[in-house]
């Protein structure tokens, strides 16, 4: 059976409160050997503690914590300290994120987004954690901040749910980052993105669901879940004229190279 990794999901949220264990079991049954759950939301609401708790409960689930661009205006010394403490206390925290810039929604003022992004990149560096980067309609600012802050940083990170240009992807790879594709790679209107994915080297790529959003074809219109990551693997395999198994294997190796999870699976 195919074995693959969902490198970015959000299964700690209320969308899964009714059936989280079934979702996790279905992922296992579909060959998802590991997943990275990303804690996002108001830093004061316990979302980061919740993400760590879920990862502590399951050998094969790791977590990333960090303040999402929408919530940048809520970032303060208290959030900063609690995040650092959690990252230091739990070996389940394997990355800092998702952090970055979102100029599509502008839920936080852009200047604050940029400051908080820079600050968190510096914390990640201090903690020696790779970063999970979210960039929407902000590619040139994202890259220029990453160039400033991640210069010569050997832990790198990932541009998650990539939706940018080939040039953007190549700039990120030059900085030591991986590029991760989500279910939107399979969308009918995804020709431009598929064109980008086709031209990138597989040894710099990851796959993800970013669930509960971005349900891939042919499951559009339903809630997404980690088991569906196989659809993105198949699409990527098709673009590179490879077997889905091979893409699954390569992207899994890339995941392990990037996040270096410290606990072996039982």
Name the residues that contact Zn ion, by CB under 5 A. Answer: 210
Give the shortest CB-219-to-Zn ion separation in angstroms: 18
Contacts within 8 Å (CB) and 24+ apart, 175-180: 175/143, 175/146, 175/147, 175/150, 175/151, 176/150, 177/133, 177/146, 177/150, 178/204, 178/205, 178/206, 178/254, 178/258, 179/204, 179/205, 179/206, 180/7, 180/8, 180/205, 180/206, 180/207, 180/208
- How far is it, in rounded angstroms, from Cα 212 to Cα 148? 32
Nearer to Zn ion, 66 or 176 (CB): 66
Give the shortest CB-142-to-Zn ion separation in angstroms: 15
Give the shortest CB-106-to-Zn ion separation in angstroms: 18
Give the shortest CB-182-to-Zn ion separation in angstroms: 9
The two three-digit tokens of residue 123, written as one number: 């914390």
Nearer to Zn ion, 6 or 210 (CB): 210
Nearer to Zn ion, 24 or 133 (CB): 133
Nearer to Zn ion, 97 or 176 (CB): 97
Nearer to Zn ion, 9 or 146 (CB): 9
Give the shortest CB-24-to-Zn ion separation in angstroms: 18
Q: Which residue is nearest to Zn ion (CB)?
A: 210
Omega cis (within 30) before 112: no
Give the shortest CB-55-to-Zn ion separation in angstroms: 15
**By C-alpha distance, which of 31, 117, 121, 21 is closest to 75?**
117
Nearer to Zn ion, 24 or 36 (CB): 36
Nearer to Zn ion, 98 or 231 (CB): 98
Give the shortest CB-161-to-Zn ion separation in angstroms: 6
Facing residues of 224 across strands?
Answer: none
């Amino acid at each position: 059976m195919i074995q693959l990794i969902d490198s970015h999901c959000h299964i700690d949220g209320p969308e899964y409160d009714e059936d989280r264990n079934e979702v996790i079991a279905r992922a296992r049954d579909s060959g998802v050997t590991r997943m990275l759950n990303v804690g996002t939301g108001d830093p004061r609401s316990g979302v980061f503690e919740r993400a760590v708790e879920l990862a502590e409960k399951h050998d094969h689930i790791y977590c990333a914590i960090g303040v999402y661009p929408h919530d940048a205006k809520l970032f303060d010394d208290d959030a900063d300290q609690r995040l650092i403490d959690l990252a230091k206390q739990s070996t389940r925290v394997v990355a800092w994120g998702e952090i970055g810039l979102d100029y599509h929604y502008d839920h936080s003022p852009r200047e604050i987004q940029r400051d908080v992004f820079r600050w968190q990149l510096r914390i990640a560096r201090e903690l020696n954690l790779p970063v999970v980067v979210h960039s929407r309609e902000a590619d040139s600012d994202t890259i220029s901040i990453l160039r400033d802050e991640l210069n010569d940083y050997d832990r790198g990170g990932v541009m998650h749910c990539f939706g940018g240009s080939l040039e953007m992807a190549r700039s990120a790879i030059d900085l030591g980052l991986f590029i991760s594709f989500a279910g939107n790679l399979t969308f009918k209107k995804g020709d431009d993105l598929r064109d980008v994915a086709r031209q990138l080297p597989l040894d710099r790529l990851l796959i993800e669901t970013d669930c509960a959003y971005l349900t891939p074809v042919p499951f559009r219109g339903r809630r997404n879940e980690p088991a569906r990551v196989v659809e993105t693997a198949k699409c990527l395999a098709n673009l590179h004229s490879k077997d889905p198994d091979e893409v699954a294997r390569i992207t899994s190796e890339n995941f392990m190279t990037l996040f270096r999870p410290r606990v072996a699976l039982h």
